Amino acid sequence: MPSLSFDAYLKSIQKNLQKGSERSHYPALKDLLDAPADGIDAVIEEKGNKAGIPDFTVKRRELLVGYVEAKDVGLDLDQIEKTEQLQRYLEAFPNLVLTNYLEFRWYVNGKRRQKDVLADRSGNKLQVRATDKIAALLDQFLNYTGEIISSPEDLARQMARLTKAIRLATATALEGEDKNGELHQLKPRQEDPVVHFYETFLAAYNAALRKSRGVYYTPEPVVSFIVRSVDAILKDRFDLPLGLADNAKDLGGKGQALVDLHLMKSKQLNKLITKMSGNGDNAVTEVTYNATEQRVYINKDRYFEGITPDVWAFKIGGYQVLDKWLKDRKKAKRTLSFDDVLHYQKVVVALKETMQLMQEIDQLIPGFPIE
């Protein structure tokens, strides 16, 4: 970035200092960032923070490069970093520059990568420092290409970040919209409008997957009817006078225990009942179960032992959990890490405890399960 660009930039900033508005400096910052020969265009977001996004969206030939959030000249960026707004931006946007027009800070994936000061202010006068560090910072920002996705975990993290950005924009738009606005029409009571977007997204992305997973939005009146019906059935047919609120038989406690197990939050999961044994590596090249030995082999030499036939055969949603988990990794040609092995061992515990809780619930409720 040539030094003449900085000269013109600082002259424009100094000229507009007395106007007292960060937006009055937008054109100067845009001119500094724009590089038509390279296809770089810094778009000023007229709605700005009202849309839940930073002040500038920077693109290279229509492809997103990153974002720039501009605060008024001289504001303390250390304090700005602590604000809820910037914390949301750092969480949602992987390539971000924060500036008060004189100091520039570059963040990648929420962490500050570099900061430098272009000029010092004394009253309405600006004294330039060396421009080479700022040029290097902006050059790295403009040429950032993102992290290479080399694993399912990397992809999940990238998608989670994008989802947070969408959620932030949606929540901010809701806050700035009146009650008759389009988004509020999707929110008649307490439901989250994001669920509508998820169903629509999955339908466009993979309609077959949406159908097989049963991802369909359930209207609130339908949910209310289901809850009322279950409550009535518990009162009328299962000798629970308080229905869903009845704790006489600790159904609520057992239900919460089931939830904790399936969310992998239960302390019981640390009481492992299996171990990984055998020689060689953890490459998943075959998945076979030996009921006599109570072993699940992941290749010819390595296996999990201590898995009973009932736990191995246990299904959720029509899937045999332990078998499918390993076969998915075999298909991906994965080698199990230490964390993978530990997770699988915890899943075994979760299934074992789930089966036990299901038996206890069946015994607590007369006539259950319904024939």
Residue 367, pLDDT > 90, answer no
Residue 77 has pLDDT above 90, yes or no: yes
pLDDT of 19 reads 65
End-to-end CA distance of the chain: 76
Inside any domain, residue 284: yes
**Rounded to two decimals, what is the model's pTM?**
0.50
User: With bands split at pLDDT 50, 70 and 90, how would you rate the model's confidence at 101?
Assistant: very high
Domain boundary among 142, 159, 193: 142
pLDDT of 311 reads: 96
Position 74 scores a pLDDT of: 82
Residues paired with 43 in a beta bridge? 57
115 has pLDDT over 90: yes
Lowest-confidence region among 63-67, 201-205, 261-265: 201-205
Amino acid at residue number 162: L
Q: Average pLDDT for residues 264-270, to the nearest whole number?
A: 88
Residue 124, pLDDT score:
80
In this predicted structure, what is the pLDDT of residue 351?
94
Q: Cα–chain-centroid distance for residue 143?
A: 25
In a domain, 283, yes or no: yes
| Percent of the chain's residues with pLDDT above 70 | 79
| pLDDT at residue 177, as a whole number | 72
Judge residue 262's burial from the number of C-beta atoms within 10 Å of its C-beta, 0-12 exposed, 13-18 middle, 19 or more buried. Answer: middle
Most confident of 204-208, 325-329, 362-366: 325-329
Residue 217 has pLDDT above 80, yes or no: no
Residue 81 lies in a domain: yes
Mean pLDDT of the region 177-183: 71
pLDDT for the residue numbered 70: 93
The CA distance from 85 to 69, in Å, is 10
Count of beta carbons in the 10 Å neighbourhood of residue 79: 10
Same domain for 267 and 137? no
Q: What is the pLDDT of residue 2?
A: 45
pLDDT for the residue 34:
93
Distance of alpha carbon 90 from alpha carbon 96, whole angstroms: 7
275, pLDDT greater than 70: yes
Average pLDDT of every residue of the chain: 82
- Percent helix / strand / coil, the chain, rounded to 5: 50, 20, 30
Place of tokens 């989670």: 160
Indicate the residue among 100, 116, 142 that finishes a domain: 142
pLDDT for 92 equals 84
Domain annotation covers residue 306: yes
How far lies 197's CA from each of 170, 215, 240, 315, in Å? 10, 11, 39, 30
At 3 the pLDDT is: 45
Pairing of strands 63-70, 95-99: parallel
Residue 232 pLDDT greater than 90, yes or no? no
Same structural domain, 16 and 138: yes
Provide mean pLDDT across the span 187-204. 56
3-state secondary structure of 365: coil
SS (HEC) of 175-238: HCCCCCCHHHHCCCCCCCCHHHHHHHHHHHHCHHHHHHHCCCCCCHHHHHHHHHHHHHHHHHHC
Total residues found in the chain within this entry: 371
Residue finishing a domain among 142, 176, 204: 142
User: Could you report the per-residue pLDDT of 308-356, keeping only the tens digit for each?
Assistant: 999 999 998 788 999 999 999 999 899 999 989 999 999 999 999 999 9
Of 14-23, 251-260, 270-279, 353-362, highest mean pLDDT: 270-279
329: which 2 tokens? Answer: 């990794």
The Cα–Cα gap between 115 and 137 comes to 8
Indicate whether 125 belongs to any domain: yes
The residue among 195 and 325 whose pLDDT is bigger is 325
What is the C-alpha separation between 312 and 183, in angstroms, rounded? 46
> What's the number of CA atoms in the CB half-sphere (13 Å) around residue 108?
14
**DSSP H or E run through 262:** helix 251-262
Task: Work out the number of other CB atoms within 10 angstroms of the CB of residue 187.
Answer: 14
Instruction: Give the structural domain span for 355.
Output: 250-364
Residue type, 234: L
Instruction: Using a pLDDT cut of 90, give the percent of the chain over it.
Output: 42
Of the candidates 300, 316, 303, 299, the one whose C-alpha atom is nearest the C-alpha of residue 344 is: 303
Q: What is the three-class DSSP state of 68?
A: strand
- Examine residue 66 and state whether it is found in any structural domain, yes or no: yes
**How many structural domains comprise the chain?**
2
pLDDT grade for 80, boundaries at 50, 70 and 90: very high
Question: How much is the average pLDDT of 139-148?
Answer: 87
Radius of gyration of the chain (CA): 29
Examine residue 59 and state whether it is found in any structural domain, yes or no: yes
pLDDT over 90 (residue 261): no
Range in 42-51, 88-97, 287-296 the model is least confident about: 42-51
Cα 13 to Cα 104, 133, 229: the distances in Å are 14, 19, 66
Per the CB < 8 A criterion, the answer to whether 227 and 244 are in contact is yes
CATH no. for residue 77?
A: 3.90.1570
What pLDDT, on the 0 to 100 scale, is given for residue 47? Answer: 60
CA–CA separation, 72 vs 70, rounded Å? 7
pLDDT at 4: 47
- On whether residue 221 sits in a domain, the answer given is no
